[in-house]
Structure 1
Amino acid sequence: MPSVPVSLPRLRGPAAALLCVILALLGVLGVTPAAQAADQGAGFGTWAPLSAHGWHGSMLIGGVHTYCIVPGLPLPTGGSEDRGVSNSAAGLSPQQLAGINALVTKYGQTSDPVQAAAVGWAVKATADRDATLHAWGYRGDSLAEAVKWTFSKIAPEHSDSVAALAETYHAEAAAVAVPSSDATLTLTTDTADARRGTVRFEASGRGVLTLTNAIFSDTGKNELADASPATDYAIIAAPPTEDGRKYSVRAEVHGTAEFAPAVHHFTTPGQQDTAGPAGNVEFAAEATDAVLRPVLFTPRVTTNVAEPEIDGGPFVDDVTLSAVEGVWPKTLGGGFVAITATAKIYRTDSVVPETEKIPADAEHVGDLALVSDAAKGPGVYRVTSDRDLPGPGVYTAVWHIDAKSQDAGTLPHLEPGYTWTENFGVATQMVTVVTPPPPPTPPQPEQPPAAQPPEEETRTLAATGGNAFTPRIAGAGGAVLLLGVALLAHLKQRRRVAASA
C-alpha cells in the first residue's frame, strides 16, 4: 500500500477552530467513528480472541494489514474503530511509533505468513519487549528463543525462519531515526566569481531541489530530484532578464522523510490496539541570496580606423565596445558599468600579417585610452591620439582590456583575472602615413643665344674669300680712324682758343 505523507505540526488559526467545532458537535450528537470487524490476515496460530498459543500475524481492516501493539490483550476479532493517524497511539514514544510504522509499511503489507508472523513479533517487541518475550510462557531474554518456544507448538517447520526475521526486524525498528518536518536551506556565493556558489539543505530525508535564476553545474538544469541532505551542490547563477541589473538566486526544497512517528491506529473495545502504515513526514524550506549578485559579462573591442591612408596627423580610431557573453551590466542607479580600454600604437616599415605577438621590429610610438560612458554603455567611440604620428610608415593600434585597470565598481562584473588583447595587424587597425614627394627643382635661367652675323654680310664675306675674322679687323681699323679724327679736331680747337687769347 503506498504511503501517505503526514503533516505533524498542530493545526492553527481557522483550521484549528473548525476542528474544535466539529469535535464538539460529534460529542454532542454522540457520533463515534465507524467500526468494522478485523479479518484474518497472513500468519500462524488460532484466529480467536483467546487461544492456547495465540495468533501471530496480521489483521486485515479495510484491506490494510494491521498488527497488534499491546502484548497480552485478546485478538481484535470484534468491531474495530478507526482512530486515524495518531502520534500518541497506546502511549508509545515517537521513536517506537516511527519504528513500528517502518515495519508495518515496509514488511507488513504481505500475504507471506512467515514474514507477517515475524513483523507481528517485532512490532509487539518494539512496543513492549519484556511483555512480548514472556507472553506465551518463555522465561529467557532472547526474542528469537521466545519465537521458537511458541512456534515449536504451532508451526515448528517455520520456527527458525520467523525467529531470525523477527530479530532482524526488531533491530531495524530500534535504529529508525525520528524524522522531523523541519528543514533548512542555505545558498552561498563564490567570493571570486559571483556566478558560482552552492546550495545545501538539512532535513530528515531526501528531497527535490529547485532553483530560480540558476542551474546545477552538473546537469545544466534548474531542478534536482532525489537530492540528499547535508550535501553541497554546485550551482551557476544566471541573470533573470536582459536589463543587466543585479539579481538574486532563490532555492526551494520539498520532500518526505521516512517514517512518520505515528501509526494508523485502530482500537477494539476489550481487545487489541492495532497499527497500520502512517506514511512519511513532509518537509519544505526555501532561501534567497542575502546579497544581490552582479551580472557578469565578457567585454570586447572591435575597431576601424577613420582613414587607412593619411599624409600625417594623429591616429584616429573608431572603437566599438560590446558584450560577447552576457549583457552589459548596470549599476543599482541604472547607469551602465564603465569599462576602461587602452591601446598601444606601433610603427613598422610595411604591412605585417595579423599575429598574436608584437613583431620584434615594431616601434612603440604612442597610446590610446577609452573609458565608456555610463549613460551610453556599449557602442562606438571615436578615440584620437594626443600627438601626431612621427612620419611615414605603417601604424597599428593594439587594444587591451584588463581587470586590473577597472575601477572597484566594475571588477565584480568580470571574471577573476579577466584580460583580453587584440591581435597585432588587424586589417581595420592599420594606418599608412605616405612618404611625401620630393620638392620640385627650381627652373634654371635661359642663356641668350650667340649673336649671328647678318646673312648678307656673311654672304659677302664668303664671296670675297674672307673668313670670319676679317670683319673684326675691319671694324677695329675703322674705330681707330674715327678716334684719330676726333683727336685732331680737339687739338685744332684748342689752338684757336689760345690764339684768340
Structure 2
Amino acid sequence: MNHPPPPRRRLLAAIAAFAVLLGGVALAPAAHAADRGTGFGTWAALSRTGWHGSMKVGDVHTYCIHPGLPVAVGPTTAHGTTATVNGLSPQQLVSINHLVTTYGQTDDPVQAASVGWAVKAIADLDTTLHSWGYTGNDLAGAINHIMQRASPENSAAIQERTLRYLAEAQAVPVPRPGGTLSLSTRADDPTRGALSVDVDPAATGTLRLEGAVFADSGSAERRDVRGGGVFEIIAPPPANGEARPYIVKATGGFVLRSAAVGFYSTPGQQESAGPAEPTRFTLSATDSAPRPVRFSPRIATTATIDGGAFIDAVSISASEGVWPRREDGSLVVIRATADIYRTGSFPAEAPQVPAGLKPVATLELRTDPASGAGTYTVTSPALPGPGVYTAVWRVTRDEQDAATAPHLPTGYRWQERFASPTQTQQLVPPPPRDVPPPPAPTPRPPTPTPTPPPSATPTPPPPPPAAPAALAATGQDGAAVAGVGGIAGVMLAAGLIALVVARRRSTPRH
C-alpha cells in the first residue's frame, strides 16, 4: 500500500513543485483565449460554415494562416514578431502583414471577412479553395460557395473586396532593410553640398545633420522623410574661430514594414497572424574628406626705390578676417607675385596693365605658416636704369601649392590696379659726368721776409744861398731862410747817426 511522505518531505516537495510552476510561468509566453472578432460564420472550433473574419487576441485582430485547422477558440499564445512561420516566404509574409495592418484592424465584418479570405489565399491557396467542398479553382467561386451559407447578402461584396486586397498585397515588394547615407561637397564651394539617402521607397524616417543645415529650411533636422532622395545642405565653417578644415555628419532613423507577422498559436487549433512590429534601422554618414575653410586674401603695398632697387612693403590680410589653418594647425601659405613695369613718364592709373607693356622684373612673397597675415618686405634685383617704375601685385588660385588651392574659391584672382600711387616710383638719372677742374693747390703758410739793413747814404751838401731877388719874391728875409736850413741839417745828421748805430747792433759779432 502506499503511504503519504513525512510532513517535512511533503513540504519540500511542495516547494519544489511550486518553484517549477513559477519557472514555467516565467519562461512561457502569455496565453489568452482568443475571442470572436469581426466577420461571418459560426464561432466554434468546427462547424458546417466555419468562421470567416478575425479572431481577437487582446486588442489585436488576427487572421488564420493555416487553412483547414479548427478555429482558435482555446488559449492562444502570442509569440511576437517573427519572419519564420510555416515556411512562408518573405513575399508572403510582407503581403499578409500589409493586409492585417492596413485593413485588418476593423470592426466592419465585410472588410474583416475580405481580409480573412485574402490572407488564407496568400498562405495556402489550394487548401483555401477546397476546404469546404468547392471543387473549382476560382477564388471568387470558393468564397461564394461558403458565403451563400454564412451571409449570402454580403457574398458579392466580399468577393470583390477580397480580390482587390489580394492583388494589392501581392504587389507589395519585399522590403529592403537598411540602406546608405552619403554626403557630398561641391567642388566650387565647400560650404555647399548634398545629403543623399538610399533606403527602401516604403521607409520613413528622420534625418539629422551635425555641422550643417538643410538649404531649403535652415534646420539641422528633417522629419517625415519618405524613401530616398537628395537634399541640398549648407555647411558654414564652425564659429569657434579655429578656421581648421571641418567635417559634416549625418544620421537617419527609419521605419519600414517588415516581411514578418505577429504570430499567434493555439495548441491543436488555428495559427493566426497579426501586425508585425516595423523594422527599425539607423544610418549614418561622414564627409569623406574635411572641408577646407576658404578665404579671399587682399594686399596693400607701399613702394620705394633705394640703391637702384625697388623695395615693396606688402601687407597681406584676409577679407573675411579669418586666416584658415591646415589640419596640423599651421596657417595656410599664400604665394603672391608682382610684375614691375618701366615707363618714360608717370603713367595714368588703370584697372589693367596697358597692352604691350612688358615687365622688367618680378617680385614674389610666401606668407609665413607661423604668422599668416602681416607685412612683408620684398626687394627686387637692380633696376635696369632711370625711369618710372610701378609694380602690380596679384594672388591667383592657379599659382598656389596643391595644399593651398582648395582654400581659395575656384577661379579666384585678385590683382592691383596698374600705376597705383603707392606702387609708382621714379628712378632719376645721375648728374652728367663732366671733366673735373684740376684740384686747387694746397695753401702754404706765409714765410716771413727779413727787413734789409739800411744803406749809408751820403749827406747832400747844403744848397747854395739863394739870390736876393728870389728871397724877395717869397716874402721872407735871408736870415729866416738861413735859420730853417740849419735846423734841417741838424735833423739829417741825427738821422744818419741813428741809422749807423742800429746797423751796428744788428750785425752779429764774432
Q: Deviations over 1:301-330 (max 9, x none)?
A: 1314267xx999655544332333594333
Count, aligned residues: 410
1:255-334 → structure 2 map (5 Å cutoff): 255-258=254-257, 260-290=258-288, 292-293=289-290, 295-305=292-302, 315-325=310-320, 327-334=322-329
Corresponding residue for residue 7 of structure 2? none
Checking the alignment, whether the CA contact within 8 Å between 1:372 and 1:378 is kept in structure 2 is yes
What amino acid is the match of 1:242?
G
User: SS of the counterpart of 2:316?
Assistant: strand
1:389: how far off? 9.6
Corresponding residue for residue 3 of structure 1? none
Corresponding residue for residue 252 of structure 1? 251
Pair 320,161 (structure 1): closer, same or farther in 2 beyond 3 Å: farther
Q: Deviations over 1:118-140 (max 9, x none)?
A: 11111111111111122233222
Alpha-carbon separation, structure 1, partners of 2:392 and 2:226: 51
Checking the alignment, whether the CA contact within 8 Å between 2:392 and 2:423 is kept in structure 1 is no
Alpha-carbon separation, structure 1, partners of 2:401 and 2:232: 29
Pair 329,35 (structure 1): closer, same or farther in 2 beyond 3 Å: same
Alpha-carbon separation, structure 2, partners of 1:215 and 1:25: 58
Corresponding residue for residue 65 of structure 1? 61
For residue 420 of structure 1, the aligned residue among 389, 414, 422 is: 414
Q: Deviations over 1:16-70 (max 9, x none)?
A: xxxxxxxx99655686444333333332333333333223222332222222222
Are residues 1:161 and 2:167 paired? no
What amino acid is the match of 1:337?
V
Larger radius of gyration: 2
Checking the alignment, whether the CA contact within 8 Å between 1:312 and 1:433 is kept in structure 2 is no
User: SS of the counterpart of 1:282?
Assistant: strand
Alpha-carbon separation, structure 2, partners of 1:326 and 1:73: 80
User: SS of the counterpart of 1:344?
Assistant: strand
* Structure 2, unaligned runs of 5 or more: 1-19, 433-510
Pair 131,425 (structure 1): closer, same or farther in 2 beyond 3 Å: farther
Corresponding residue for residue 499 of structure 2? none
Are residues 1:403 and 2:397 paired? yes
Alpha-carbon separation, structure 1, partners of 2:116 and 2:96: 10
Corresponding residue for residue 504 of structure 2? none
Alpha-carbon separation, structure 2, partners of 1:356 and 1:295: 31
Q: Deviations over 1:353-394 (max 9, x none)?
A: 6x533456988565432211111112232334444696676x
Corresponding residue for residue 76 of structure 1? 72
Pair 357,191 (structure 1): closer, same or farther in 2 beyond 3 Å: closer
1:40-51 → structure 2 map (5 Å cutoff): 40-51=36-47
Checking the alignment, whether the CA contact within 8 Å between 2:191 and 2:237 is kept in structure 1 is no
Alpha-carbon separation, structure 2, partners of 1:311 and 1:384: 10
User: SS of the counterpart of 1:158?
Assistant: helix
Checking the alignment, whether the CA contact within 8 Å between 1:45 and 1:154 is kept in structure 2 is yes
User: SS of the counterpart of 2:166?
Assistant: helix
What amino acid is the match of 2:59?
G
Checking the alignment, whether the CA contact within 8 Å between 1:312 and 1:389 is kept in structure 2 is no
Alpha-carbon separation, structure 2, partners of 1:326 and 1:96: 63
Are residues 1:143 and 2:139 paired? yes
Pair 121,432 (structure 1): closer, same or farther in 2 beyond 3 Å: same
User: SS of the counterpart of 1:149?
Assistant: helix
Moved more, 29-38 or 114-123: 29-38
User: SS of the counterpart of 1:126?
Assistant: helix
Corresponding residue for residue 168 of structure 2? 172
Identity, % of aligned positions: 46
Q: Deviations over 1:189-235 (max 9, x none)?
A: 66776666654454443443333344555655544444466655555
Alpha-carbon separation, structure 2, partners of 1:294 and 1:88: 47
For residue 341 of structure 1, the aligned residue among 321, 328, 336 is: 336
Alpha-carbon separation, structure 1, partners of 2:22 and 2:178: 33
What amino acid is the match of 1:284?
T
For residue 39 of structure 1, the aligned residue among 35, 41, 44 is: 35
User: SS of the counterpart of 1:343?
Assistant: strand
What amino acid is the match of 2:409?
E
Pair 119,265 (structure 1): closer, same or farther in 2 beyond 3 Å: same
Checking the alignment, whether the CA contact within 8 Å between 1:69 and 1:275 is kept in structure 2 is yes
Pair 113,317 (structure 1): closer, same or farther in 2 beyond 3 Å: farther
What amino acid is the match of 1:375?
A
1:280: how far off? 1.1
Checking the alignment, whether the CA contact within 8 Å between 1:95 and 1:178 is kept in structure 2 is yes
1:104: how far off? 0.8
User: SS of the counterpart of 1:176?
Assistant: coil
1:335-414 → structure 2 map (5 Å cutoff): 335-345=330-340, 352=348, 356-358=351-353, 367-387=362-382, 397-414=391-408
Moved more, 218-227 or 54-63: 218-227
Corresponding residue for residue 490 of structure 2? none
Alpha-carbon separation, structure 1, partners of 2:270 and 2:282: 37
User: SS of the counterpart of 1:298?
Assistant: coil
User: SS of the counterpart of 1:50?
Assistant: coil
What amino acid is the match of 2:105?
Q
1:105-254 → structure 2 map (5 Å cutoff): 105-187=101-183, 199-204=195-200, 205-216=203-214, 221-227=219-225, 231=229, 233=231, 237-240=235-238, 242-254=241-253
Pair 151,421 (structure 1): closer, same or farther in 2 beyond 3 Å: farther
What amino acid is the match of 1:127?
A
Moved more, 112-121 or 169-178: 169-178
Moved more, 93-102 or 177-186: 177-186
1:95: how far off? 2.9
What amino acid is the match of 1:303?
A
* Structure 1, unaligned runs of 5 or more: 1-23, 440-501
